[in-house]
C-alpha cells in the first residue's frame, strides 16, 4: 500500500488495510494528481519517476501510475487502476455463455446484475433505478444484526428503514435474506460488506477534485447515491478513566461523496446499502 503526504486525510482511511490478504490484491486509490510544491496537478508520464523533490507520492506508484504510463494490463475495464467486469443475473461473466459482451442493466437472466472487482475478487450487487424492484438504489435501511457474537453488543433497529421494497423488510439483515432468497447472480451467500471491503470501492481522486458525482466508477456501479452506505462493522467500545464510552449503538459507514468513514447510530433510517459476496476481508 502506498501513501501520499499530499493527501494526509487519506492516510487515515488506508491504515485499516494493513492486514488484508495481499494474495488477492487490493485496488488502488484512483489518485492521479501529485503535489508539485505549489499545488496538485496531474502526475504526468514524464515526471512520475523523475520528480526528485516529491518522490513516492500516491500517483507515482502502483496501478494508477501504471495506467498513466500505459503499461497496466486489465482483465476487464475501469477508470485508472481499477479493474472490473460485469456479471449477468444468471451468474455468468460478460461475454461468456448466455451473458452478452456488454449486458444491459436489468432483472432478466442475461441482464447485468453484479460487478466483480478483478483485483480483490469481491463480487458486488449493482443497484437499479426502478423503485418497484427489490434492489432499487433509492431504498434505505436501519442497521440490524441479530447475531450477538458479531453485532458489537447491540442488534440495532429492526425494520426501521425510511423507504424500501415492502414495509416489513426495512433493515440490513432482512434485505440480505431477501437477496439471498432470490439468488442474485446465481449465488445465495450475499452479505453486508465489512468496513474494509466497502473501502475498496471509493475513487479517492474525488477528495481532490470535489466532484459532484459519486466517488466510484459509475460505469460499473451505476445508480450509486452521493451519500453514505452501511458496512457490517459495528464500532468497538473505547475506554476512558471513568469507564466505557457507550458506542454499542453505532456502526461504520462509508461516504461516497469522498470516501471518508464515519460512525453512525444504527437506528438512523436513511442509510443505503450495497451487498457483496466472496472471501471476507
**pLDDT tens readout for residues 22-49:** 346 888 888 777 776 666 666 765 555 5
In a domain, residue 51? The reply is yes
In a domain, residue 39? The reply is yes
In a domain, residue 35? The reply is yes
Range of the domain at 60: 8-69
- Residues 89-142: pLDDT tens digits? 999 999 999 999 999 999 999 999 999 999 999 999 999 999 999 999 999 999
In a domain, residue 264? The reply is no
DSSP letters spanning 203-256: -TTHHHH--SS-SS-TTTSTT--SSEEEEEEEPPPEEETTEEE--TTEEEEEET
All residues at 6 or more sequence positions from 167 whose CB lies less than 8 Å from its CB, including other chains: none
Give the whole-angstrom CA distance, residue 129 versus residue 264: 26
Give the whole-angstrom CA distance, residue 259 versus residue 270: 18
In a domain, residue 90? The reply is no
Better pLDDT: 234 or 42: 234
**Structural domains of the chain, count:** 1
Residue showing cell 434485505: 175
In a domain, residue 263? The reply is no
Residue showing cell 484512483: 30
**What is the overall mean pLDDT for the chain?**
84
Residue 38: per-residue pLDDT: 66
pTM of the predicted protein model = 0.84
DSSP H helical segments within 92-187, as ranges? Answer: 172-182
Amino acid at each position: 500500500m502506498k501513501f501520499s503526504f499530499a493527501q494526509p486525510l487519506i492516510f487515515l482511511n488506508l491504515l485499516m488495510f494493513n492486514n488484508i490478504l495481499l494474495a488477492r490484491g487490493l485496488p488502488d486509490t484512483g489518485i492521479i494528481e501529485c503535489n508539485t510544491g505549489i499545488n496538485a496537478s496531474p502526475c504526468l508520464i514524464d515526471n512520475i519517476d523523475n520528480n526528485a523533490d516529491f518522490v513516492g507520492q500516491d500517483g507515482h506508484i502502483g496501478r494508477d501510475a501504471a495506467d498513466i504510463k500505459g503499461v497496466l494490463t486489465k482483465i476487464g475495464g475501469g477508470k485508472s487502476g481499477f479493474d472490473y467486469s460485469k456479471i449477468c443475473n444468471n451468474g455468468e461473466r460478460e461475454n461468456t455463455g448466455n451473458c452478452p459482451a456488454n449486458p444491459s442493466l436489468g432483472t432478466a437472466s442475461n441482464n447485468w446484475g453484479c460487478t466483480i472487482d478483478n483485483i480483490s475478487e469481491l463480487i458486488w450487487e449493482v443497484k437499479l433505478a426502478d423503485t418497484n424492484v427489490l434492489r432499487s438504489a433509492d431504498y434505505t435501511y436501519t442497521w440490524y444484526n441479530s447475531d450477538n457474537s458479531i453485532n458489537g453488543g447491540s442488534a440495532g433497529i429492526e425494520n426501521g428503514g425510511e423507504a424500501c421494497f415492502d414495509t416489513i423488510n426495512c433493515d440490513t439483515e432482512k434485505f440480505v435474506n431477501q437477496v439471498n432468497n432470490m439468488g442474485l447472480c446465481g449465488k445465495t451467500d450475499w452479505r453486508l460488506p465489512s468496513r474494509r471491503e466497502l473501502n475498496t470501492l471509493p475513487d479517492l481522486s474525488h477528495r481532490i477534485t470535489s466532484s459532484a458525482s459519486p466517488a466510484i466508477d459509475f460505469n460499473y456501479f451505476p445508480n450509486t447515491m452521493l451519500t453514505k452506505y452501511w458496512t457490517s462493522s459495528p464500532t468497538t467500545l473505547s475506554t476512558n478513566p471513568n469507564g466505557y464510552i457507550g458506542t454499542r449503538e453505532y456502526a461504520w459507514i462509508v461516504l461516497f461523496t469522498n470516501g471518508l468513514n464515519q460512525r453512525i447510530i444504527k437506528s438512523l433510517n436513511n442509510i443505503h446499502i450495497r451487498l457483496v459476496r466472496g472471501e471476507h476481508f
